[in-house]
Structure 1
Amino acid sequence: MSALFFLTPFLVRHIGESGYGFYILLTSVSGFLGLMNLGLGEATLRYVAYYHSCNDEAGINRVVGSTLFVYLLMGITASLGLYHAADYLVGFLDLTDISHSLAAELFRITCAAFCIRFVSGPFFAIPQAVLRYDITSRLLIAENVVRVAGSIYVVNKGFGIHGLIFLNLFLAVFFLVITFIAAGRVMPGIRLMPVPTKEGLKEIFNYGIFSFLSQMVGIAWQYTDRMLLGILVGTGAVAYFSVPQELVLRFLGIGASAGAVLMPKFSSIRNKEQLCFLYLNSTAILMTITFVIFTPLAVLFQDFIRLWVSPEFATQSGFIGTLLAASCVIRGAFIPYQELFKGIGKPQYLLMITILSSGTILIADLILIPAHGLAGAGYAFCLSPMWGIACIFFVYLRIFHMKSPEPLIRLVFIPMITGFGCMGLSFWFRTLLPDEIGWKMLIFMAGNIIGITAGVMVTCNLVLGSADNPLKILFSETKVKFRKMVS
């Protein structure tokens, strides 16, 4: 998040909006190519964790060897194919400040960087499988530090977008090396070689197919609007859309990280009542988190972009950012059912909801972008949460077979309505302030919106929750500890 905060305005100012938009398109290519993992990343994570709990080193080596083989094969195949098609593919883009030959060259370098980075996927999954998230966090922090420092260096030296793409190639090699070392240290007996076995391939593909299809549809949801904007509107529009989208997705990742612990919990619980209890309360808590994060972001997005990047950029990007942030206030409520489907072995349900959500955005993009330009992509993004809300009801009524919707309404939907009320009040209060505010007022406003939204929603959860509600338990324990401290 810090890397995005400091790097984005720096790059926009130094390589221009069109250049930054093309840079984002090139990095988006790696996102599309990520489909080549065929969903095996999740399969590797699950089976390595399972065999590690059973102390089955042979099983771990079987899965890792098979996954590495497939990753290496698919990465090389995809990169070579796109490398030779670079001239043809670049011709589809509306390029203004970049020559066709340079664009094709940068595209080819991006393909090489993807292949190297792609192979590091199984190595990165190994620390996660043994719950060493401290290691994965350090790896990502190290990469981001090198990325920020390297980006500042190459841009200040005048290498521009050419230097940034070569930096991505260097970062791919760097990440491959550090993940390889980390995987070997976490599991000293592991064999990190691309040696496939029939049983290993069968294991990872049986689980990975639904994950692959979900990823395919999800990546289409994340990147298709950028491609359509680049083709129909221009690379400048990609920059205006991708900056708020990246910011929103990074903040959304906070809730996703908090919810990542739910999958093993859902897998280990066999009692349906306990499973439903965990699902309802985690839905309420994670929804509260995203309301607290995205309410101030939606209300103050235009002010933030004006101060962070430039007034001109805010004129183009501010409204789209408000739309994206406002559509994310309830997305925390969708994280528990995603982890539940994985934990209970129903990835096909996750695939179905992903298809519905992504298909809605894609169809809306095709209709709205030609008619409304950049704003059309924002309108399309706002339509997808309706399927998430429907899925919350589906899980409660069909998965848990609960007859009364009262607990769901009490724990989830009343706080949701309360959160929307807080957001509406915050928008109204912003209209009372001057059109342009400075950093001090922005921070003051954001702090007040966060405090009010959090206070109202947590109070709502405490009042409406049951006696064993996690927030009530946490509140009671905190109160007891405080009394001991002052006594």
Structure 2
Amino acid sequence: MQLRARHIARNVLFNWLGTLANMAVGFFFAPFILHRLGDAAYGVWVLAISVVGYLGLLDLGMQSSVLRFVSKGHTTGDHQASSEALSAALWIRLQLSGVGLLLSAGLAAVFPIWFKVPPALASDARKAILLIGLTTAIAMSFGVASAVLSGLNRYDLQNYVGLTQTAIRVIGIVFALRTGHGIVAIALCELVATIVSSVLLVLTAHRLYPELRVQLKKPKKETLRKLWVYSSYAFLTTIAVQLVYQADNLVVGAFLSATAVTYYAIANSLCRYASGLVGSVGGTFVPAASTYEAAGDTAGLLALYKNGTRATMLVSLPILITLVVRGRTFIGLWMGPQYSQQSGTVLIILCTALFFSFANRTAASVAYGVEKHKTSALWAICEGVANLALSVTLVHWYGIYGVALGTMIPSLIVHLIFWPRYISNLVGLSSFEVIWNVWGPLFLAGVPFAIASYAVSTLPVHNLTVFFLQILATLPVFFLTVALIFRGYVRQTVMPRVRSLLFTRA
């Protein structure tokens, strides 16, 4: 059990490493790309990625199916079942990748017509979309190897490959932009990095699981049925995520301009970074929830929900409060003062929804862990459709702020009404207790930190180093408040464990 716990801890550590590395690259790289390309070209690049990003829906949730069946087959020694699942997923993905390439060609043709792309950038936009489409097709086809590594619990090797891909991409893009090239060169760098990482994933998966035998022939109906039954609701959730995170940029590009996409994307990217960091915490609760549910341990499941939610909010609240209170200042220092007002206002609107979305991350993990995610997937689809409809409606009245409001309103409805009631049925906790006892103390702990952040914001700040030092100076306010609110838990649970650990080592 101890070795297993260490293995899980190692996987979590490497997931955090991969997430933080990607966040760091995105954070420091975005200003470089923006100022090298300019507002219009950067907006076109964001639009191109967003449009082609919808081709990821062709995955149909197969990645999660491969992970499940490879893990199960490897554990039980049923390598034939693992091979059949992998072969079926690859067979499907290769065909869907072909469809994706055709769709990319169509998107490239209509892209400058659908969106307000400057005529000088129309040709480059078409070429970039074709390259991004090819990159997506390759990643989709050979992504099954990544699922094999996940199924074998080798997140360390998976993240090593991911870091290698990131390094190749960064080096290539820096060279391309410094030598005067544009979005076509960036897309080419993405393609090369994906090809290299795909080859590494395939070789690594084969070395770790040599018993796998891939056969590119039509799978058995029973194998296809098993894959689809498991992946169908994951597919619905993927659609919802695409609608929520990609549709906004497309609406801005279609109804406003490519330059406006840049202003919106700056704020949206910060929300994605925060979401990725919080998601690295919540994702680790899915297998734990499955274990408690299988053992009939309802008390353990309830404790997992409470403690997991508190841990997630402990990570997310300082980030969100800082973005809301000091987001405009941060964007001005990060991207440039010309983006502070508009992007900062969009950031405040989007973060308002994230306060409650992040509070429900553990609830979503519990639902997936006990296989009760059908209803949540349907609600996620409703949220995505409402997001798109409201954004299209409000963009005419309020511009990019209307698009942000179109995202915020459905999210608040889902996370304030649906999730507290839904999780109460799963863990035996009333909606009132969820909001008052689980969320309430952490939100209360955030109030002094918000006040301190606002007070510090009146001080002069001329660069990001000073900004981050000010954040570090105010963080103790939050954690001391948390310790004060949960002093009974700290005294009765945490301190005895610390003393036991120290005594054992002594």
Instruction: Return the TM-score normalized by structure 2.
Output: 0.88
What SS does the corresponding residue of 1:120 show, helix, strand or coil? Answer: helix
- State the 4+ residue runs in structure 1 displaced beyond 6 angstroms: none
Alignment match, 1:429: 455
Alignment match, 2:497: 477
Alignment match, 1:342: 368
Q: Which aligned pairs between 1:12-411 and structure 2 lie closer than 5 A?
A: 12-96=34-118, 98-195=120-217, 196-269=219-292, 270-383=296-409, 384-402=411-429, 405-406=432-433, 409-411=436-438
Spell out, residue by residue over 1:365-423, the C-alpha distance to the aligned partner (whole angstroms, 9 max, x if none).
Answer: 1222211111222223332134123344223432234469547622322322432x245
Query: Which piece of structure 1 moves more, 283-292 or 81-90?
Result: 81-90
Residues 415, 461 of structure 1: 8 Å contact kept: no
What SS does the corresponding residue of 2:120 show, helix, strand or coil? Answer: coil
Identity within the alignment, %: 20
Distance 1:441 1:61, change over 3 A: same
Alignment match, 1:448: 473
Quick one: which of 435, 445, 454 aligns to 1:418? 445
2:464 is aligned with 1:439: yes
Alignment match, 2:6: none
Give the gaps of 5 or more residues in structure 1: none
Deviation at 1:127, TM superposition (A): 1.3
What SS does the corresponding residue of 1:346 show, helix, strand or coil? Answer: coil
- Cα distance between partner residues in 1 of 2:417 and 2:200: 42
Pairs aligned (count): 479
Deviation at 1:458, TM superposition (A): 4.3
State the one-letter code of the partner of 2:370. I
Spell out, residue by residue over 1:243-292, the C-alpha distance to the aligned partner (whole angstroms, 9 max, x if none).
Answer: 22122212221221122221111112122222122112211211221112
Query: Which piece of structure 1 moves more, 33-42 or 236-245?
Result: 236-245
- Cα distance between partner residues in 1 of 2:132 and 2:203: 24
- Cα distance between partner residues in 2 of 1:34 and 1:137: 20
Residues 322, 453 of structure 2: 8 Å contact kept: no
State the one-letter code of the partner of 1:9. P
Give the gaps of 5 or more residues in structure 2: 1-22
Deviation at 1:348, TM superposition (A): 0.9
State the one-letter code of the partner of 1:363. A
- Cα distance between partner residues in 1 of 2:28 and 2:429: 48
Deviation at 1:314, TM superposition (A): 2.5
What is the alpha-carbon root mean square deviation over aligned residues?
A: 2.4
Distance 1:278 1:223, change over 3 A: same
Deviation at 1:113, TM superposition (A): 1.6
Distance 1:462 1:348, change over 3 A: farther
Distance 1:433 1:256, change over 3 A: same
Distance 1:478 1:190, change over 3 A: same
Residues 264, 343 of structure 1: 8 Å contact kept: yes
Deviation at 1:437, TM superposition (A): 4.1
- Cα distance between partner residues in 2 of 1:407 and 1:243: 33
